[in-house]
Structure 1
Amino acid sequence: MTSASSARRRARWPWVVLVIVLVLAALGVAAEFIARSVVPSTVRSLVIDNLDLPADQQLDVQVPGMMLPQLIAGTLDEVRLASDEVTVGGISGSARVTATDVPVSGGALGAAKGTVSIDQDEFSSLLDSAQLPVSRIALAAPNATVEGEVDLFGRQIPVGITVTPGAEDGDLLLTPVSLSLNGMDVNLDAVSGMIGSAGDTITQPQRVCIADRLPVGITLTGLRIEGTSAVADISADGRITVDQKLLENGTCPRS
């Protein structure tokens, strides 16, 4: 009798183990599901609050990989943020940002990089402090063409300047590649000697400070024209999540 009971218990034991494993697996799946529901919405709320965005701001949040191990470790390996239309520091456009080593309990990020895509009007507003005659601007990859007028020999002459945008030390960099005066193409190298200091202004590479349009903790690292949009590469100081001063707009030197 004892031998038979022992045999039955031994027979049931693998099934008991299997049931326990399945229950634990189900609990793990449920916990992962809950984490995937709660964490992105929490991250979204924190970003909206910290950047002072509208409560109904469209902002998609993704956390790749298994969530539970990351939560247990206390750090999210990667968080991806995306919005088709957002305004940060006075610049509006669509944004894609990836943050790494994001502490669950709060603290500085490991790093954050991304892109912001802006239209022609928004790009034009970045040139407000540029020493260029801007009355109209058109973007066509890989360049931007600025049109306006320059004072030449006491007359206002129509000018068109085609530049390749870029970035240098956080500033917007405009490098002229072609020029037209009064509808005629002219040689860039010859213009400076023809019209003096005005020629230097429109034919030499020009840096445009945009620090006053961005939070201190965000730096422009690159800029290119894609189609009819300007795509800016940005990087963020990891301390932007803990230092309120890094969320304030920067300043530009007075000319």
Structure 2
Amino acid sequence: MSDDVVRRGRWPWVLLIVVAILAVLIVVAEFVARSILPGIVRGIVIEQLELPADQELDVDASGILLPQLIGGRLDELHLQTDAVTIGGVTGAAAVTAVGVPLHGGVLDGAAGTVRIDQDEFVALAAASDLPIDEIAFAAPNVTATSSFTVIGVPVPVALTVEPGADAGELLLTPVELRVAGVTLNAAEIAERFGDAAAGLTQPHRICIADQLPAGITVTGLTIQHSTAVIDVDVDGAIITDAALQHNGVCS
């Protein structure tokens, strides 16, 4: 048997071995990338948001990382934590960013949710001018106990408000009021009590822009079971524009 025949016979095996080695190297490189990337992203997020160094933050990237790393852009990046404190309010947060540049540039987009319990929601509601004594979740609405004064006499009430968001602010819209066991809607309240109950019949806004980076905008608020869920949208330029990384302002 000639040497050429022997070499031709070995060639498929050599090729198979090379392919196998490359496959192993790719798997190892992917594993290394997934081990290193979360720590890098976590460090950047903690630094930009000025969070504690020991902040718990889970980071996960979708898809196969190597092609994305070579291309310099991650398809999807998921950030999640069970407890983060921003502006004195603590809740669980989850954000998904798409089109994440690795060498400078803006995100294609990002959105997420912040979940807070009833006590934390009370702290937020205290920032409004709605006269509130206590708050209880009654999904999908919120029930607040309060009172107003008629001819010098305090009248206790239970006010039901519909949560929402508008123009970046949390919005609490009264839908009904219970006074002495009688349920009244906003129009009936105004008719019976006039200016004395005016503060209970108008929508009330809660601005938290000064507690969040300017690049994060509140887009929704819903009550799910025992949790208030705040939806947020993230400006893709937040990773390059320092002004968007600083807290916003309330007018």
User: Is the Cα–Cα contact under 8 Å of residues 58 and 83 in structure 1 kept in the other structure?
Assistant: yes
SS at match of 1:133: coil
User: Is the Cα–Cα contact under 8 Å of residues 35 and 68 in structure 1 kept in the other structure?
Assistant: yes
How many residue pairs get matched? 251
Unaligned runs of 5+ in 2: none
CA-based RMSD of the aligned residues comes to 1.5
Quote the residue 2:238 is aligned against: 240
Structure 1 residue 131 corresponds to structure 2 residue 160: no
Unaligned runs of 5+ in 1: none
Structure 1 residue 16 corresponds to structure 2 residue 3: no
- Name the CA distance, whole Å, in 2 between partners of 1:249 and 1:104: 24
- Name the CA distance, whole Å, in 2 between partners of 1:150 and 1:178: 15
Give how far 1:163 is off: 0.7
- For 1:86-165, what aligned pairs fall within 5 Å after superposition? 86-165=84-163
SS at match of 2:175: strand
Per-residue CA deviation, residues 189-245 of structure 1 (Å, 9 max, x unaligned), is 221122222323212333332222222111100010000110010011111112222
Pick the aligned partner of 2:208 from 207, 210, 213: 210
SS at match of 1:131: coil
- Name the CA distance, whole Å, in 2 between partners of 1:55 and 1:131: 36
SS at match of 1:86: strand
Superposition TM-score, scaled by structure 2 size:
0.94
After alignment, is 149-158 or 223-232 more displaced?
149-158
Quote the residue 1:53 is aligned against: 51
- Name the CA distance, whole Å, in 1 between partners of 2:185 and 2:220: 28
SS at match of 2:2: helix
- Name the CA distance, whole Å, in 2 between partners of 1:215 and 1:152: 42
Per-residue CA deviation, residues 87-138 of structure 1 (Å, 9 max, x unaligned), is 2243320011001111112332111100100011111122223232111100
Quote the residue 1:198 is aligned against: 196
- Name the CA distance, whole Å, in 1 between partners of 2:196 and 2:243: 39
Superposition TM-score, scaled by structure 1 size:
0.93
Quote the residue 1:75 is aligned against: 73
Quote the residue 2:28 is aligned against: 30
SS at match of 2:56: coil
Aligned partner letter, 1:41: G
Structure 1 residue 174 corresponds to structure 2 residue 172: yes
Per-residue CA deviation, residues 9-68 of structure 1 (Å, 9 max, x unaligned), is 111111111111111111111111111111111111111111111111111001010000
User: Is the Cα–Cα contact under 8 Å of residues 89 and 249 in structure 1 kept in the other structure?
Assistant: no
